[in-house]
Structure 1
């Protein structure tokens, strides 16, 4: 899949949100998309998913089966979890029997069993996010796009996300995932795309030797310090709260 000199803005005459974006998504490749809030990460992922269309340039080679998980799952729908997932399986072209198997698999794997008959608006943010993840995986995706997929998830499901990503890549699917939590450190072999000021810079996976440096920062400056380190190309492995003095 190729992005060739892609430009995007939300209205004619408005500011460019993305400019001169050229990149390639390889089959079986994993890409972590980084950048500050508001830099255009979600816009880029929606463009790749086909939700948005570029004002200039071309997106070519998008595979037939794309699984897209938005940052916030649109839960304002009258369906139950089971009804929604079965409807999405039908949209994916699965027959009733295949749809039932796929729904059962992901309901079980993501711990949604007790919520099957619960209506979407009644779900917590984390449970709704699980439903959003499940719908993207009902048909094995050739391209999986995850926009901050860890938000609101319980610890067990957060640990499952990298496993799912690696499974998709192992089948030859491509995965793009945005992350500001440092969770994607558990995705070996991932390249990085950094969005800043509407432009995109890319870097292949770094397989060279690394050193780990522990840095203590004030709680008030934590978010800014993490953002600065990532902008400089460093990998933030973990953030922990210091206990005691």
Structure 2
């Protein structure tokens, strides 16, 4: 799948939200998309999914089956969860949704009207409808937002499985939920431009002659795994110090 000089704006004479994006995606790719709010991440995801057309340029070789889970699932539809998923399964040619609902721990939600769901529960419904037809291209807009701990732990494994059978996974994710997956590619949208971070751009170990310092950081214990993963992704050596009492108090640091 390729993006060839893709630019997009909503109306003529308005500024371009995305300009001259070029990229190539291969079967098995998992891509994390980042950027500040309003940078154009969701617009790019809709272009990739085929829900919007480029103003200029083109997207080629899109897989035949696309699964798209939006940031905000539309709950104003007159269905229960089961009725909605049955309807989508019919649209998808008899796709099986119940195994995905089981993996995302949705049994207690199936009889509820969509309008009664919390954001996290509605997001699970969006994930199931995106996964049920075994997509060759799976696009997730902030997939970890509002999910419970069990679902958050399950989602990286699901992304790995989709990629493992040759699918492409692209997730806009400011929470770093896919960090640590082997071979994860990192895209960002900055000032309307699509950029990809490469190991050469982020690997601080590439120059062994640069001076080194060791820095101690204190943070809440539950944030440690994500913090370490992010530091390692940027090329830093990062590890846990078991004896935190051995660290100097900020007021006692040597001058």
Q: TM-score, normalised by structure 1?
A: 0.82
Select the structure of larger CA radius of gyration.
Answer: 2
* Distance verdict in 2 for CA 1:120–1:208, change over 3 Å: same
Give the superposition deviation at 1:203: 3.2
2:203 and 2:234 in contact (8 A); partners too:
no
Where structure 2 has 5 or more consecutive residues not aligned to the other structure, the ranges are: 206-211, 220-226, 239-249, 251-255
Equivalent residue runs for 1:76-225 within 5 Å: 76-94=76-94, 99=95, 102-204=96-198, 215=217
Which residue does 1:57 correspond to in 2?
A: 57
* Distance verdict in 2 for CA 1:116–1:14, change over 3 Å: same
* Distance verdict in 2 for CA 1:82–1:33, change over 3 Å: same
2:138 and 2:167 in contact (8 A); partners too:
yes
1:190 and 1:204 in contact (8 A); partners too:
no
1:191 and 1:205 in contact (8 A); partners too:
no
Give the superposition deviation at 1:172: 0.5
Which residue does 1:73 correspond to in 2?
A: 73
Give the superposition deviation at 1:205: 6.1
Which residue does 2:33 correspond to in 1?
A: 33
Which residue does 2:253 correspond to in 1?
A: none
Superposed CA offset, 1:31-55 (max 9, x none):
1111111111111111100111101
Between 1:85-94 and 1:170-179, the stretch displaced more is: 85-94
User: What is the CA–CA distance in structure 2 between the aligned matches of 1:47 and 1:89, rounded to whole Å?
Assistant: 24
Give the superposition deviation at 1:214: 5.4
* Distance verdict in 2 for CA 1:204–1:234, change over 3 Å: closer
User: What is the CA–CA distance in structure 1 between the aligned matches of 2:192 and 2:6, rounded to whole Å?
Assistant: 11
Give the superposition deviation at 1:204: 4.5
User: What is the CA–CA distance in structure 1 between the aligned matches of 2:69 and 2:216, rounded to whole Å?
Assistant: 33
Match of 1:10, SS state, is coil
* Distance verdict in 2 for CA 1:54–1:158, change over 3 Å: same
Give the superposition deviation at 1:110: 1.2
User: What do you get for the CA RMSD once the two structures are aligned?
Assistant: 2.7
User: What is the CA–CA distance in structure 2 between the aligned matches of 1:163 and 1:122, rounded to whole Å?
Assistant: 28
Match of 1:57, SS state, is strand
1:3 and 1:60 in contact (8 A); partners too:
yes
Give the superposition deviation at 1:186: 3.2
1:65 and 1:139 in contact (8 A); partners too:
yes
User: What is the CA–CA distance in structure 2 between the aligned matches of 1:107 and 1:31, rounded to whole Å?
Assistant: 24
Which residue does 1:42 correspond to in 2?
A: 42
Give the superposition deviation at 1:13: 1.1
* Distance verdict in 2 for CA 1:170–1:213, change over 3 Å: farther
Give the superposition deviation at 1:112: 1.2
Task: Count the aligned residue pairs.
Answer: 220
User: What is the CA–CA distance in structure 2 between the aligned matches of 1:213 and 1:174, rounded to whole Å?
Assistant: 37
